[in-house]
Chains A and B, each alone.
Chain A
Amino acid sequence: MRDELQRVTLDRRPVQLLAAVAAVIALGGCAEQLGLPRAASDQGETVGQVFNLYLIVAYVIGAIVMGLIIFVMVRGRASRHGDGPGSQRHHNTPLEITYTVIPLLIVGALTVVTLFTIGDVASDAPDPDLAIEVQGYQWGWQFTYPDSGVVITGDGGTPTELVLPAPATVRFTVRSNDVIHSFWVPAFRFKRDLIPGTPTSFSVDTNEIGTFDGHCAEFCGLQHAEMTFTVRTVSPSDFQTWLQDHEG
C-alpha cells in the first residue's frame, strides 16, 4: 500500500505534470483564442495569450486532480474491499512537501508571466495619437476629443458612439462626478473604474476596424443595465473626415 502510494504519486504524477506544463507553454502562444471574443487591440491580444496559458494550465490541473479523486474513490470503494479498516497511514512528509512545492512552482511560473504582462496591458502611453476624455454619469457616457473640441454626449436613447481610428494609440482619461462607473469594452479586454474625484488614464492600441459593444461594468444604480455604448473603429483617414464633420 505504502509503496504503491509513493510510486504513483511521487514518481509518475510530476513527470506527467511537467510534460503537460511544457506542452501548455508551447501551445499557449500559438493556440487559437479560447473562450474570449475577438480582440480589437494589441493589449487585448496579450491578454488573450495569457488567458490561453492560464486556461490550459487550469484544464490540465483540473483534469489531473479530478482524475485523482475519481481514481481514489473507485479504487477505495468499500464494496470492493469488504468492511475492514483502511490504511492507517496519517502522514508522509516527503509526499506532503512535494505537493506543496509543485503547486508553488506552477503558481510561481504563472505569476511571473502575469508580472511581465501587467505593464503591457495596463499601459499609459505618454505620447498617444489621440486623447479621449471619458465621463460617466447616471446613466450615460460623454466622450470628449480635447484636441479638436468634439464632444459626444449620450441622449439616453441609442447607445452613445465612440469613434476611434485604427490602428492608433489612444489614451483615455476617465472620470465621474456622481457614482462609480466602469468603462469596459470587452473587445479591448480591459476595463477601468471611474472613481469620482480620482481621474485615471490608460492607453489602448487599436488594431481592428469594426463596431464593438461597451458597457458600464460597475453597478451604478437604477439603469445600470442600460448604460451601454458602442465603439466604432475606422481607418485614420476616415477618422479625420469624421472629426471634421463634427467640429464646429
Chain B
Amino acid sequence: MTSTTSEASPSGEELEPPTTEIIRRPNLGLVDWLTTTDHKRIGILYALTSLVMALVGASLAGIIRGELALPGQQIVGSSTYNQVFTMHGTVMVYLFAVPFAFAVGNYLVPLMVGAPDMAFPRINMVSYWLYLLGALIVLSGFLTSSGAASFGWFAYPPLSGQAGSPGLGGDLWVVGLMLTGTSGILTALNIVTTIIMLRAPGMTMFRMPILVWDMLLTSFMVLIVFPVFTSALLMLLLDRRYGTNFFAPESGGQPILWQHLFWFFGHPEVYIVALPYFGMVTEIFPVFSRKPMFGYKGMVLSTMAIAALSTSVWAHHMFATGDVYLAYFAVTSALIAVPTGIKFFDWIGSMWGGRITFTTPMLFAIGFLFTFLLGGLTGVILSSPTLDFSLTDTYFVVAHFHYVMGGTVVFAVFAALYFWWPKVTGRMLDARLGRWHFWLLLVGFNVTFLVQHRAGLEGMPRRVADYPAYAPYATENLISSLGAAIIALSLVPFVWALIRQWRRPEPSGPDPWDGYTLEWLTSSPPPEHNFDWLPTIRSERPAYDWRHRDTDGVGALGPDDPWRRRTLHDTKWFPLHPWVEEHPGSARTGPPPGTPVTREAEESPDA
C-alpha cells in the first residue's frame, strides 16, 4: 500500500515537466503515515481505524448474544452488560458506521471528481486525529473503576446525569463524542468544499457519480445536525460536572429537551449513516450490469428529499412520551418511504435488462438490497404511532434498526471493500472466498435478526440483561445467538482472502471491473497527485466513455449523439445546471481520443 509512487510517476514527470518545483520528501515509513495530509492515506487510516472499531463493536455484540442465549445465563452480570450494550451502540454508530463512510468519502471523492486532493488537506488530517482521540477517550471508560458509560447510546437524562450515572465513564463518553462530532463537522466542510470547488473541467454537478452526490448531501446533513448534538453534549457535560440544570427536572430542567435535541441529530444521523452506503452500492450495480445508472436524476432528487425530510421526523422516536404532536411526525416519517422506494426501483432499474455478473462486490450489493428491503418495510410499520406505542423499545425495533443500520451498512461496507480493494492496493481479493464470505454473512445475519422481530412482538423489551425462562421468546434468543456465531464464522473466509492477497498478490491493473468513474482511469494504487491526465468528461461515466470512445455514438458528438440527447433533456428539465458545450482544448485535460488507454502506452509516444 505504501509504494504509491514507485512505477508510475517518474515517467509521468518526464511527460509533463512541472512548472513549479516539487520537493519530494524522503520515505519515512510510519512517520509518513502519522504526518500525512494525502487524502488517500487519511482515507486508509480512517478505514483501518473504523474497521478496528467494528471489530470492537462486534465483540461487544458477541457478549450480548452470549448473555441472552439462554434465560438466566450470566456471563458478565447486569452492570457490565449495561456498559456492553451502551458501548456496542456507541461504537457501531459513532465510531464505525459514520467514520467508515468518511473513509470512503476521503479516499474516493477527490478521485471521483478528478481532484488531486481534498480542499483542506491539513484540516483533513486534524479530523482524523480528532476522531481517533475521541474514539480512544470513549473506549477508555472501560479502564475506569466504575466502568464505561452505561446509559444507552442515546443517553437519556436524568439517567445520564450526575445522579443517574456518577461514574467517570459517562464523562469520557460525552467528551469523546464531542471530539468525534467536531471531527465529523470538519470532514463534512472539507467534503462539501472539495465537491463544490475542485471538480475537474466538464464534471458538472449532474455528471458526478451518485456516491459523490450522496457524500455531498450527507455532509450538508452533518453540518446541520452535528453542531446541535455537540452542543447538547456540552449541556450534558455542564449538567454532570458544573451544576447546571438543563435536563435535571428537580431544578426546573427538562429531560424531554435532551430527547428533542438528541433525536434532531439522531434521526438525520441514521441517514448520515445510510446515504453514503446507498452511494457505494449505486456505483456497483450499474458496473456489474453493464448498464448506466437508471434514473440518475430521480436518485439525486430522492436523496435530497430524504435529506430534507430527515430533519423533520425526529420525534417519531418519542411517540411513547405522550409529549409530541403525533400526526405531524407520523406523516413526515411515513413520507420517507417514498424517496426510499424511488431508490429501490432505481437500483432494480439499473440491473434491468443488464448483463449481470455476480462478482463479490455485486453479491454484497444484492445482499444490501434484501437487507434494506426488510428494514424499510418494518420502518413503515414503526412510522405509525398507533403501532409504535406497542412496538417501540422492543426487540422489533432492535431487529428493524439492525436491518436498516446494521445489515445494510455491513453488506455495503464489504461490497465497497471488495470493489475498491484493487484500486487501493493494486491486488485482487479471491472471488471464491468472497462467495463463501457472502453466503455465510447472509445466512448468519438473517438467522440472527429475523427472529428478533418475533421476540419483540411477543413482548421482549430491549436492553434487558436477562429474561425469565417462561418467556415466550426464549427460543428466538437462542436462534439469534446461533446466528451471531455464523456471522463470526463468516469473517474467516474474509480474513483468509486478506492473508492470501498479501502472501500471493494477484495484480489487478488499473481497472479490473471495467469501472465507470474517474478513479479507474488512474493507476492502482493511484499516484500521490491522483491523475496525470483526465479524459473529456461528458457523462457520469467518463471511464466508460473513454473505453468506448471509438464506438459509434459514444465518443464523438454527432447529430444523434446519445450525450447530445442527454444534454437537451437535462437543459430542458434541469436548467440550473446546463451542460457546457465542450470546445476542444478548453474542457479537455488529457490527450485527444485515439490514444491508447493504458498508462504505459499513453506515456510511450512522448517518451
Contact = CB atoms under 8 A, between A and B. Distances in A.
Nearest to A34: B457
Interface string A219-232: 11111111000000
Contacts of B463: 219, 224-225
A96 to B, nearest CB: 5
A221 B78 CA distance: 9
B322 A215 contact: no
Contacts of A180: 156, 158-159, 255
A76 B297 contact: no
Interface stretch (B17-25, B190-198, B230-238, B465-473): B465-473
Nearest to A57: B380
Interface in A106-133: 107, 110-111, 113-115, 117-118, 121-122
A191 B458 CA distance: 14
Contact of B320 (A91, A192, A197, A223): A192
Nearest to A181: B159
A158 interface: no
Contact of B459 (A110, A117, A186, A220): A186
Contacts of B354: 72, 76, 86-87
B531 interface: no
B454 A76 contact: no
A12 interface: no
A83 B373 CA distance: 29
A193 B459 CA distance: 16
A118 B588 CA distance: 60
A66 interface: yes
A195 B466 CA distance: 25
A36 B384 CA distance: 16
A76 B464 contact: no
Interface in A77-110: 77-78, 81-92, 95-96, 99-100, 103-104, 107, 110
Interface string B312-354: 0000000011110011001100110110011011101101111
B249 interface: yes
Interface stretch (A45-53, A162-170, A235-243): A45-53
A228 to B, nearest CB: 8
Contact of A118 (B323, B330, B355, B459): B330
A134 interface: no
Given A58-B380, A62-B374, A219-B151, A198 B341 contact: no
A86 B354 CA distance: 4
Contact of A62 (B373, B392, B458): B373
Interface string A38-77: 0000001011001100110110011001101100110011
A77 B362 CA distance: 12
B563 to A, nearest CB: 11
Contacts of B411: none
Contacts of A219: 82, 151-152, 156, 159, 462-463
A162 B388 CA distance: 24
A99 B255 contact: no
Interface in B4-44: none
Given A36-B390, A55-B381, A104-B338, A86 B353 contact: yes
B370 A66 contact: yes
B82 A217 contact: no
Q: How large is the interface on A (under 10, 10 to 19, 20 to 34, 35 or more residues)?
A: 35 or more
Contact of B562 (A88, A184, A189, A198): A88
B256 A217 contact: no
A222 B78 contact: yes
A32 B597 CA distance: 64
Interface in B252-294: 253-256, 289-294
A182 interface: yes
A51 B386 CA distance: 9
Given A72-B352, A90-B293, A193-B321, A35 B389 contact: no
Contacts of A82: 355
B547 to A, nearest CB: 10
A27 B165 CA distance: 49
A90 B296 contact: yes
Contact of B389 (A5, A61, A99, A189): A189
Contact of A225 (B151, B356, B466): B466
Contact of A68 (B294, B348, B392): B348
Contacts of B322: 122, 192-193, 200, 202
B382 to A, nearest CB: 9
A78 B384 contact: no
Contacts of A191: 320, 389-390, 392-393
Given A81-B355, A90-B292, A191-B390, A99 B384 contact: no
A149 to B, nearest CB: 26
27 contacts: A47-B386, A50-B386, A61-B377, A69-B366, A72-B351, A76-B289, A77-B357, A78-B355, A83-B355, A87-B352, A88-B292, A90-B566, A91-B296, A103-B342, A114-B334, A114-B384, A114-B387, A118-B386, A190-B390, A191-B390, A196-B158, A213-B459, A217-B320, A217-B393, A219-B463, A221-B159, A221-B165
Given A91-B297, A115-B331, A221-B164, 16 more contacts: A47-B386, A68-B348, A69-B348, A69-B370, A72-B351, A78-B355, A89-B291, A89-B353, A92-B349, A100-B298, A107-B334, A118-B330, A184-B393, A193-B321, A215-B464, A225-B467
10 A-B pairs with least C-beta separation = A197-B249, A86-B354, A186-B459, A225-B464, A103-B341, A87-B353, A200-B322, A189-B390, A90-B292, A114-B384
Interface of B: 78-79, 82, 150-152, 156, 158-159, 163-165, 249-250, 253-256, 289-298, 320-323, 326-327, 330-331, 334-335, 337-338, 341-342, 344-346, 348-349, 351-358, 366, 369-370, 373-374, 377-378, 380-381, 384-387, 389-390, 392-394, 454, 457-459, 461-467, 472, 562, 566
